[in-house]
Structures are given as structure tokens and as C-alpha cells.
Amino acid sequence: MMRGAVSTGLVTVMVMMLVVLNQIESAIVNDSLLPHRESCNIYIGNWVYDQSYPLYDSKTCPFIQKQFNCKPNGRPDSEYLKYRWQPSDCNLRRFDGLDFLGRVMRGKKLMFVGDSLSLNQWQSLTCLLHNAAPNAKFTPTRSASGLSVFSFPAYNSSIMFSRNAFLVDIVGAAPPNRVLKLDSISSGSLWKTADVLVFNSWHWWLHTGRKQPWDSIAYGNVNVKDMDRLEAYEKAMTTWANWVDQNIDPSKTKVFFQGVSPDHGRANEWSKQGGKGSCVGETTPVMGSNYLAGPHPAEMVVAKLIKKMKKPARLMDVTLMSQLRKDGHPSAYGIGGHKAPDCSHWCLAGVPDTWNQLLYNELFNY
């Protein structure tokens, strides 16, 4: 009886040890699949359906502006909320708001600088953090300069948004004397106050007519009424890249350029049968990793410039993954409704949450 009991006990212990070893091995394998900047491009992959998404309920986030708040605006479908970005060669760390506040950004300031797509991402991040720490006190403020600040005093952390659609300067207060200066940046003193900078610029470069906020373009000694917008964009982004090289200490400040967010106003960019359609009525992503229209020209400009920088910014290359999300826009459920559907911005919860998950992964490995 004694010998049998001992044998049974040994078998039990051995089985338990094997279970533990298997768990350790699985953990090691899983950890090896987590992204490392040297071995995995987290921006190449595809969207997969995941019932555990979205990362928060928009009903619990009181900061979402009406233009991004698709469900309360009447959007009837919910499948667009259920997709997760899956890189081809590794797994992303799931966004951990408490880790983001308590470790990654404790005592630091993060600033988004750009147009309303940066606003989109900024609001997404405030929702993600509020969802992770719903009882933490927060302080939203807006300065006279237009800087929006969302502070978490307990973590001595601030998430900021500075609206600056072109990054370079526009001088002159009123028509017809407003000049877009492609070789001038005067906002840099504000940018230097942040520990993490996330820049974005493209959509306003395409505006014409009454939406165009300048009357002429200046570069060096040249002043013209207009010019090729992609060429103007490249000159301006060269000025931005030079500013970063001359003013940023990479050991103190982390710099990212949020890749160009696409619009989905023409269905022939993702479908051979697209015709004159747009994002309106789209409820599912483009499956796979290929987008019919191919790389975005503005994204290619930024990628080329960053490679030439002496102190390279990190390109958050969100263009392809966002191109695949023809279903993620407010469309008829933004502030323009059916008369002016929005195929440029993104619903919240939605695609910008993944941009912030990618930013979290980038900062985790920085």
C-alpha cells in the first residue's frame, strides 16, 4: 500500500512538472512572437475578426466628439468594431492602459501635432486610458494657443493635442495675404515641451477653394499662387525633418510620424467593380494584405525623407492597415450626415485605437 501510494505520488508530481514546463515553454514561445523592432514589421499584416473587441465601449467615454461618435449618431451595424490588426510575423501586445500610464508615460508628456486625424487619435487615446483607469482623476484643459491637454495628476502624465495641419507656417491673418511658407517653422518651442511627439500632416494639403487656408505659397525667394500639392508637401516635410535633426535630442525625446491616413471616397481604389461608390454602406474591411490602389504617394514621400534624417523619426506606417478599413469611417453617421458623408475620419471606438495600440508597442520597445 505504501509503495503504491509513493508511486502514485511520484506520477502526480511528474505530471504536474510536465504541465508547468509546458506552460513555461508556451510562455517563451508566445513572448518570442511579441514584436521586436529588429525582427518584425508590425505594420504588415491583416485584419482578423475578434469577438473580444472593441477595446472600450464608446458609451463609457464622455470625450468623443460628435463627428467621431458613430453609434449614437445612428450607425446600425457593429461588425466594424470587432476587427483586430494581426501582423504577419508576430503578435501585438494588447493595449494596457495602466501600464501605459504607470510605466511608459509616468511623469511624461505626449503631444500629437497635426490635423483632425491627430485629433481622432488623441481622443481615441484618452478613451483607452479612461477605460483602463475609470476612477483616476483627469483634467481636460485648452490653452489660448489652442493646445488641448488631458492630464492624469496621479501619474503626472499629460496627453496633448496641438492642431497644426501643415506643420510649417501660415503667415498673414486674412485673405488675400495669407502665405504658406514651406521653409518656416515657428511652433517648435511648443513641440520641445513634450517627451513623445507624434506628428501628422497630409489631408489639408489637398483642400482648394474656400477650404484652402492660404492664398499663396512661398519657398526661399519664390512666391507662387499655387503648385503641385505633393511637391509642396515634400518641401514642407523636408523642413520638418530638418527641424527635428536640428532641435531634438533622441535620448530625451521620442519622435514619431503617424503615417498618412487614407480616405475612402472612391470605391475603385479597393474594388475592380467599385464604380463611383465610396465608404458609405461599407461594413467589412478589405480582407488580406493588399490594397488595389497600391502605396499612398504622400506616405512614400515621408518614408523617403525619414530615411535621410540624421536623427530619424520612427514612421508609424499605418497607411496600408488603414487603407484596408473602408468600413471604419463615420460615412453618413458623422456630422455631415448623408448630405456630406465623412470618408476621411474614423469612428470611435475603431481604427485609431489600433494606431494607439501600435504606438504603445513602439514605446514598449523603445
List residues with catalytic annotation.
Answer: 116, 342, 345
Distances from the Cα of 26 to the Cα of 17, 33, 42, angstroms: 14, 11, 21
Which residues, at least 6 apart from 125, have a Cβ–Cβ distance to it below 8 Å?
A: 110, 159, 356, 359
299/318 Cα distance (integer angstroms) = 9
Which residues, at least 6 apart from 246, have a Cβ–Cβ distance to it below 8 Å?
A: none
308/147 Cα distance (integer angstroms) = 30
108 contacts 157 by C-beta, under 8 angstroms: yes
267/73 Cα distance (integer angstroms) = 24
84/119 Cα distance (integer angstroms) = 22
254/257 Cα distance (integer angstroms) = 10
Q: Is 333 in a helix, a strand, or coil? A: coil
For residue 251, the tally of other CB atoms under 10 A from its CB is: 6
